[in-house]
């Protein structure tokens, strides 16, 4: 007898022929085992295809005048590509696949070689050589991590440029780094900037074996919580303006995701006996509990978190799902949180279209109090890089957690 078992009702690609099962296995227990493996494989299938696509589209190798590969969007000096590198590293660790394990090394080596030979052609308006905004830190955290293993003069140059950017950035009176938003708004502490600083400082602390950079990352993160956390709504405001002496903007999904990504990354570096670890961990758990109430029925979160009539947004959903799974895998959260994370991962799988592309991704955004800005001007895009990194990270963390919960 031949039959087809549908693994995913959404896509035709995920099915198996039962005759293959009966040909390969002779026991009912074996059939059940293979069905479980096939189901797990089907759930990971879009993850692997998206990861493989990133690998295939990223330029690597030693560029020369005669052999000058065209950089792709995955080669550019962009914080989104740092997230993608982190996702590939995590996926390489959990799958053992060499193309993922070597991805970051090959990618930043290409960037460094290309940059030293051909200049700022991969960085937009000199965002690498002359950055003037906190968000223009690109993949500098990866530079710090890899320079410790493989010293490179271009890594040093990139880190010095970012160090100069931070040294000359405006601050509030307490020393926290901020943006000059405009003449009208003045100085503002903006939520996404935290992720542009904290991962770099954590890795710089390890590179230099100097804990002052870790302490700097901790203090900055604690300041952000104090400025932006809304105790009533249990969400993070996206901006705090000095002139207003208060918060500004709607509860932007990915903005909240940036904060959670930063504090999650930070927790992986703080030693167990650090005097501020408990405070940071409490802030992380407080935030996690706040966003749980905002998860939609399909497992995703919204572009404007407290407005379920806004669209379900993929990048923040990936960030939240990943950070919850990371907390479970690290023991920061109880195992009971896996139900929420699993729901989130299945929600993420549901937004992968038939071309193995992520839909529903908010493009690059500023801060606004106008819902139309987030819903119409920043309407969802397909396979925007802001969504790819969180998806890879969430997928890798899910595969790791799933090993534990299926035992």
In angstroms, the CA 403 to CA 407 distance is 7
Contact between 377 and 304 under an 8 Å Cβ cutoff? The reply is no
In angstroms, the CA 99 to CA 273 distance is 36
In angstroms, the CA 123 to CA 129 distance is 8
In angstroms, the CA 167 to CA 162 distance is 9
In angstroms, the CA 346 to CA 340 distance is 10
Contact between 342 and 349 under an 8 Å Cβ cutoff? The reply is no
pLDDT, one tens digit per residue, over 322-379 is 999 999 999 999 999 999 999 999 999 999 999 999 999 999 999 999 999 999 999 9
In angstroms, the CA 23 to CA 19 distance is 6
In angstroms, the CA 103 to CA 304 distance is 34
Give the chain's mean pLDDT.
Answer: 90
The H or E element spanning position 58 is none
Read off the pLDDT band of 43 (50, 70, 90): low
In angstroms, the CA 141 to CA 108 distance is 11
pTM across the whole model = 0.89
DSSP-derived secondary structure for 226-274:
HHHEETTTTEE-SEEETTTTEEES--BHHHHHHHHHHHHHHHTTS-TT-
> Cα-atom radius of gyration of the chain, to the nearest Å?
22
239 or 25, which is more confident: 239
The pLDDT of residue 176 is 98
Read off the pLDDT band of 20 (50, 70, 90): very low
In angstroms, the CA 87 to CA 221 distance is 22
The pLDDT of residue 123 is 66
The pLDDT of residue 406 is 72
What fold, for 43-405? Glycosyltransferase (1.50.10)
Read off the pLDDT band of 22 (50, 70, 90): very low
Question: What angle in degrees, to the nearest 10, is found between the helix axes of 28-57 and 338-350?
Answer: 60
In angstroms, the CA 58 to CA 72 distance is 6
The pLDDT of residue 124 is 63
Domain ranges of the chain: 1-42, 43-405
Percentage of residues in the chain with pLDDT exceeding 70? 88
Question: What angle in degrees, to the nearest 10, is found between the helix axes of 193-208 and 79-95?
Answer: 60
pLDDT, one tens digit per residue, over 231-282 is 999 999 999 999 999 999 999 999 999 999 999 999 999 999 999 999 999 9
The pLDDT of residue 404 is 79
The pLDDT of residue 250 is 98
Q: Give the end-to-end CA distance of the chain in Å, rounded to a whole number.
A: 32
């Amino acid at each position: 007898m031949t039959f087809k078992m549908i693994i995913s009702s959404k896509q035709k690609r995920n099915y198996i022929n039962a005759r293959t099962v009966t040909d390969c296995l002779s026991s009912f227990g074996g059939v059940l085992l293979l069905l479980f493996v096939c189901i797990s494989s089907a759930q990971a299938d879009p993850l692997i295809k998206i990861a493989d696509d990133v690998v295939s589209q990223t330029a690597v190798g030693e560029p020369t005048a005669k052999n000058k590969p065209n950089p792709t969007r995955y080669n550019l000096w962009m914080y989104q590509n740092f997230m993608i590198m982190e996702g590939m590293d995590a996926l390489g660790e959990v799958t053992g696949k060499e193309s993922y394990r070597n991805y970051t090394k090959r990618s930043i080596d290409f960037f460094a070689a290309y940059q030293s030979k051909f200049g700022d052609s991969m960085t937009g308006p000199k965002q690498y050589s002359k950055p003037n905004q906190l968000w223009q830190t690109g993949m500098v955290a990866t530079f710090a991590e890899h320079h410790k293993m493989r010293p490179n003069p271009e890594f040093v140059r990139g880190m010095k440029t970012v160090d100069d950017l931070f040294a000359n950035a405006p601050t509030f009176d307490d020393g926290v780094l901020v943006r000059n938003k405009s003449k009208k708004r003045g100085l503002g502490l903006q939520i996404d900037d935290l992720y542009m600083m904290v991962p770099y400082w954590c890795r710089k602390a390890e590179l230099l074996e100097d804990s002052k950079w870790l302490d700097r990352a901790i203090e900055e993160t604690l300041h952000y919580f104090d400025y932006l956390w809304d105790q009533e709504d249990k969400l993070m405001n996206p901006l705090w303006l000095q002139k207003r002496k208060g918060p500004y903007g709607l509860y932007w999904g990915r903005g909240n995701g940036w904060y959670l990504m930063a504090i999650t990354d930070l927790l992986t570096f703080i030693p167990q006996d650090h005097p501020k670890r408990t405070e940071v961990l409490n802030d992380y758990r407080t935030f996690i509990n706040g966003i749980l109430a905002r998860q939609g029925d399909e497992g995703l979160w919204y572009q404007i978190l407290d407005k379920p009539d806004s669209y379900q947004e993929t990048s923040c959903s990936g960030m939240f799902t990943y950070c919850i799974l990371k907390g479970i895998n690290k023991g920061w959260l109880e195992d009971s949180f896996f139900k929420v994370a699993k729901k989130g991962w299945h929600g993420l799988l549901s937004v992968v279209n038939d071309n193995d592309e992520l839909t529903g991704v908010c493009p690059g955004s500023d801060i606004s109090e106008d819902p139309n800005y987030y819903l119409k001007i920043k309407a969802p895009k397909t396979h925007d890089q802001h969504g790819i990194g969180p998806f890879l990270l969430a997928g890798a963390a899910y595969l790791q957690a799933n090993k534990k919960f299926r035992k």
